[in-house]
C-alpha cells in the first residue's frame, strides 16, 4: 500500500536516534494518510516511544519529518506543535494542581491580541477570543465525556479519567496528527472499549492518528495498517491481518509475548 507524498499527513524518512553507541531508532521510514489510523508495534526496547519522541522534537534525531507536506526540523517541538502535531504519553501527563478545564486551556496557547496595547485598545476582541478558548476547552471535555469534571482538580481523577483529560487537551489543539503512546495501558476492558469508540471519532478526513500499543485486539479493531519495529528498524508493515501472520513478526514480537505467557 502506497500513497502520493502530497496526500501524506505525516511522513518520516530515515529517522535515526542514537544514545552514545546505542542506536535506538535506525533509519525508520513511515507515513500516514489523512483520515488513517496507523499502529506501531514491537517488543519492549524496539524504539517505538523513542521514534515518537524524535518526530515530536523531544530528542535530537537524524532524518526528515514532514507534516502535511511541510518539512520540520527535528529537535524543535514548538515548530512541530505549530504545524499541528500533538502527543499523548504512556502515563497521562496532566497538571494535578489545575482543574480539568484549566488543563485543557494550557493546551490552547493563543498569542493573538496578548500585547499590552491590545489589552487597552482591542479589549472586546480580546475577550471574544478568550471566550472562544474556554468554549473550545469545554467542548473537548464534553467530547471525551468528562465535562461534569470541568472544575475538579486533576489530582483527584482516576487513572482512566486522567487519560480522557489528556486526550481532551490534545484534541482541543485541533491536531492534524495525534500521536498516542500506549493509550490503552492501565485501562480495564470497559475503559478500553470506550477508548476504542472515542478514538474512532477523533479521526477525520483532515486528521490522522498514530498509535503505539501492545493490545493486539485493540489495534486490529482500530488500525488500517501496522508498522512493526525491532531493534529500531522496520521489519514489517501492512494491513493488521497480514502483518500479524508474518513469521518475522511472530518471532520478534508475538513469540516474545508467548514465551512469557
pLDDT attached to residue 222 = 96
pLDDT, position 181: 97
On the CB side of 230, CA atoms within 13 Å amount to: 12
Three cell numbers, residue 53: 519522541
Q: What is the pLDDT of residue 125?
A: 62
pLDDT at position 123: 56
Question: What pLDDT does 91 receive?
Answer: 93
Q: What is the pLDDT of residue 206?
A: 85
- Can you give the residue ranges of every domain in the chain? 1-84+175-261, 97-174
**Which residues of the chain fall short of a pLDDT of 70?**
1-6, 109-127, 253-261
Q: What percent of the chain has pLDDT above 90? A: 75
Phi, psi values for residue 32, rounded to 5°: -140, 135
Give the per-residue pLDDT at 176.
93
Q: Which residues contact 31 (CB under 8 A, 6 or more apart)?
A: 3, 8, 10, 11, 12
Architecture, CATH, for domain 1-84+175-261: 3-Layer(aba) Sandwich (3.40)
Which whole-number Å values give the CA distances from 39 to 3, 84, 141, in the listed order? 17, 19, 25
What is the per-residue pLDDT for 258? Answer: 42
Q: What confidence score (pLDDT) does residue 114 get?
A: 52
Amino acid at each position: 500500500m502506497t500513497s502520493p507524498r502530497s496526500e501524506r499527513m505525516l511522513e518520516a524518512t530515515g529517522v535515526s536516534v542514537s544514545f552514545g553507541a546505542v542506536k535506538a531508532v535506525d533509519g525508520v521510514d513511515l507515513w500516514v494518510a489523512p483520515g488513517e489510523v496507523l499502529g506501531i508495534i514491537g517488543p519492549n526496547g524496539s524504539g517505538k516511544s523513542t521514534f515518537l519522541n524524535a518526530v515530536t522534537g523531544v530528542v535530537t534525531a537524524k532524518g526528515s519529518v514532514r507534516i502535511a507536506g511541510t518539512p520540520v526540523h527535528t529537535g524543535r517541538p514548538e515548530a512541530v506543535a505549530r504545524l499541528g502535531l500533538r502527543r499523548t504519553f504512556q502515563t497521562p501527563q496532566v497538571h494535578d494542581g489545575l482543574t480539568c478545564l484549566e488543563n485543557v486551556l494550557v493546551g490552547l496557547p493563543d498569542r493573538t491580541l496578548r500585547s499590552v496595547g491590545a489589552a487597552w485598545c482591542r479589549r472586546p476582541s480580546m475577550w471574544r477570543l478568550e471566550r472562544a478558548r474556554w468554549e473550545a476547552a469545554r467542548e473537548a471535555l464534553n467530547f471525551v465525556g468528562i465535562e461534569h469534571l470541568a472544575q475538579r482538580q486533576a489530582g483527584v481523577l482516576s487513572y482512566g479519567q486522567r487519560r480522557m483529560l489528556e486526550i481532551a487537551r490534545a484534541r482541543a489543539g485541533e491536531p492534524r496528527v495525534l500521536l498516542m503512546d500506549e493509550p490503552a495501558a492501565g485501562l480495564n476492558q470497559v475503559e478500553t472499549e470506550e477508548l476504542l469508540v472515542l478514538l474512532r471519532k477523533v479521526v477525520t478526513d483532515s486528521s490522522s492518528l498514530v498509535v503505539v500499543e501492545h493490545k493486539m485486539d485493540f489495534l486490529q479493531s482500530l488500525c488500517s495498517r501496522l508498522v512493526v519495529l525491532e531493534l529500531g528498524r522496520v521489519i514489517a508493515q501492512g494491513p493488521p491481518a497480514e502483518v500479524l501472520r508474518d513469521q518475522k513478526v511472530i518471532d520478534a514480537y508475538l513469540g516474545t509475548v508467548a514465551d512469557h505467557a
